[in-house]
């Protein structure tokens, strides 16, 4: 009898089923797989993975939460709300599900439901910084700056490095015509990212801190030329984080400030007037030069174009603007200089171009 039992035990150990993954392990694998599909923007495949996880564990809050995110990305908003609600049902402390659900309500124009959602969250978890930040954003969009300001204050008090809350509070100060106070908040965010290379993967907080600080400096530019220079630097830093085609307003500001003419070249004004994508892989930049000096201007050397892809520099070129057929601009005249950059096989729609210092080639 003992021999029979021993043989059965050995057979069990050698059986493949003895080593099969536990249901909980399989669920975790499916959720991880779904998250990987999400990173690749493969939302349908992600949903399939989360569906399988839910079929194995119908009360797994994370499977519902992530499937809600996938439906959200696909703009399937009712399905997203249902999944976020299920996640909350099975894990009431999953505060981020409340935030996600509130954002979907706002997309649907259901602001009263969004507010009720945030209020419920904060009543249960009054120390959750992002809850205050999200409700403050809703108040801001509803034109209630004082209520928004109070919530952003609370968000920062609870999490002193909640960078988005600083950006949001700064935007309220801008709305209240308090640019100097707004700059303090934007500078706080910028300081928190000190030493981190700028790029389109760095995140929204630092990008919008630069953009909004640029707006604040722009509003102060008439009081001091120094603010004009600061505005230029801020908009160029923002454009390092966001591709030009997604940053139309910032480009308009950058055009105003990027090339003002060398202050040492009295009477000369240099300004970018067009940044145009030609096809997929050629970039045309046109600048206007007003020559009020006593010299002829042959060209404008602008220093370097830094070319970014996925947050890293993939090219750096010294570039010079010249007139059509090399035509110079004589004193008292105004003319356009042009620059074309070939993509060299790359797609410029994925590139981020920053223009830095310049000097005039005058004779």
Tens-digit pLDDT string for the chain (363 aa): 554 444 444 444 444 444 444 667 888 899 998 899 998 889 999 999 999 999 999 999 999 999 999 999 999 999 999 999 999 999 999 999 999 999 999 999 999 999 999 999 999 999 999 999 999 999 999 999 999 999 999 999 999 999 999 999 999 999 999 999 999 999 999 999 988 888 766 888 999 999 999 999 989 987 876 787 788 788 878 877 877 666 777 777 666 554 444 444 567 777 767 666 555 555 667 777 888 888 788 877 655 555 444 444 445 555 666 776 667 888 888 888 776 655 544 444 444 444 433 444 544
- What pTM value is reported for the model? 0.66
Three-state DSSP at 230 gives helix
Q: Are 328 and 297 in contact (CB under 8 A)?
A: yes
Each residue of 27-48: b (16+ CB within 10 Å) or e? bbebbebbbebbeeeebebbbb
Q: How far apart are CA 211 and CA 201, in angstroms?
A: 16
Helical spans, DSSP H, in 125-178: 129-141, 145-158, 163-175
CA neighbor of 351 nearest in space, from 286, 272, 283:
283
Q: Are 339 and 284 in contact (CB under 8 A)?
A: yes
Q: How far apart are CA 234 and CA 213, in angstroms?
A: 7
Helical spans, DSSP H, in 40-76: 43-56, 61-73
Q: How far apart are CA 181 and CA 329, in angstroms?
A: 43
Tokens coding 242: 């966001």
Three-state DSSP at 308 gives strand
Q: Is the dihedral of CA 238, 242, 247, 252 positive or negative?
A: positive
Q: How far apart are CA 291 and CA 302, in angstroms?
A: 17
According to DSSP, the residues that pair with 291 across neighbouring strands are 268
CA neighbor of 247 nearest in space, from 210, 197, 195:
210
Q: What is the CA radius of gyration of the chain?
A: 28
Distances in Å between the Cα of 58 and the Cα atoms of 6, 26, 33, 53, 125 are: 38, 13, 18, 8, 26
Backbone angles phi, psi at 333, to 5 degrees: -110, 160
Q: How far apart are CA 245 and CA 232, in angstroms?
A: 18
According to DSSP, the residues that pair with 308 across neighbouring strands are 313, 352
Q: Is the dihedral of CA 98, 99, 105, 111 positive or negative?
A: positive
Q: How far apart are CA 15 and CA 99, in angstroms?
A: 47
Long-range contacts of 158-161 (CB under 8 A, 24+ apart): 158/127, 158/128, 158/129, 158/132, 159/129, 159/130, 161/192
Tokens coding 35: 């998250």
- How many Cα atoms sit within 13 Å of 286 on the Cβ side? 9
Enumerate residues 6+ apart whose C-beta is below 8 A from 12: 18
């Amino acid at each position: 009898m003992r021999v029979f039992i021993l043989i059965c035990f050995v057979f069990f150990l050698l059986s493949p089923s003895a080593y099969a993954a536990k249901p909980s392990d399989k669920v975790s694998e499916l959720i991880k797989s779904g998250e990987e599909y999400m990173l690749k923007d493969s939302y349908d495949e992600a949903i399939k993975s989360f569906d399988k996880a839910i079929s194995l564990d119908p009360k797994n809050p994370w499977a519902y939460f992530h499937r809600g995110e996938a439906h959200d990305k696909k703009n399937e908003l009712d399905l997203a709300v249902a999944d976020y609600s299920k996640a909350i049902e099975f894990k009431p402390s999953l505060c981020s599900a409340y935030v996600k659900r509130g954002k979907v309500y706002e997309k649907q124009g259901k602001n009263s439901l969004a507010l009720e959602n945030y209020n419920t969250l904060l009543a249960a978890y009054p120390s959750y910084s992002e809850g205050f930040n999200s409700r403050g954003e809703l108040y801001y969009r509803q034109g209630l700056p004082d209520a928004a300001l109070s919530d952003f204050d609370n968000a920062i008090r609870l999490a002193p490095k909640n960078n988005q809350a600083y950006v949001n509070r700064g935007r309220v100060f801008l709305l209240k015509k308090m640019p100097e106070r707004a700059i303090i908040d934007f500078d706080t965010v910028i300081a928190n990212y000190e030493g981190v290379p700028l790029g389109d993967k760095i995140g929204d907080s630092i990008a919008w801190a630069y953009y909004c600080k640029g707006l604040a400096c722009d509003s102060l530019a008439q009081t001091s030329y120094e603010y004009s220079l600061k505005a230029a630097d801020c908009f160029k830093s923002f454009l390092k984080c966001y591709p030009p085609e997604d940053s139309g307003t910032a480009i308009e500001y950058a055009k105003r400030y990027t090339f003002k003419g060398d202050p040492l070249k009295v009477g000369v004004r240099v300004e970018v007037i067009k940044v145009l994508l030609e096809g997929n892989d050629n970039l045309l930049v046109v600048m206007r030069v007003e020559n009020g000096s006593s010299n002829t201007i042959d060209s404008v050397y602008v220093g370097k174009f830094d070319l970014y892809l996925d947050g890293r520099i993939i090219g750096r070129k010294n570039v010079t603007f010249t007139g059509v057929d090399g035509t110079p601009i004589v004193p008292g005249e105004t003319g356009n200089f042009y620059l074309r950059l070939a993509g060299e096989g790359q797609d410029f729609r994925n590139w981020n171009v920053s223009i830095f210092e310049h000097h005039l080639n005058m004779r």
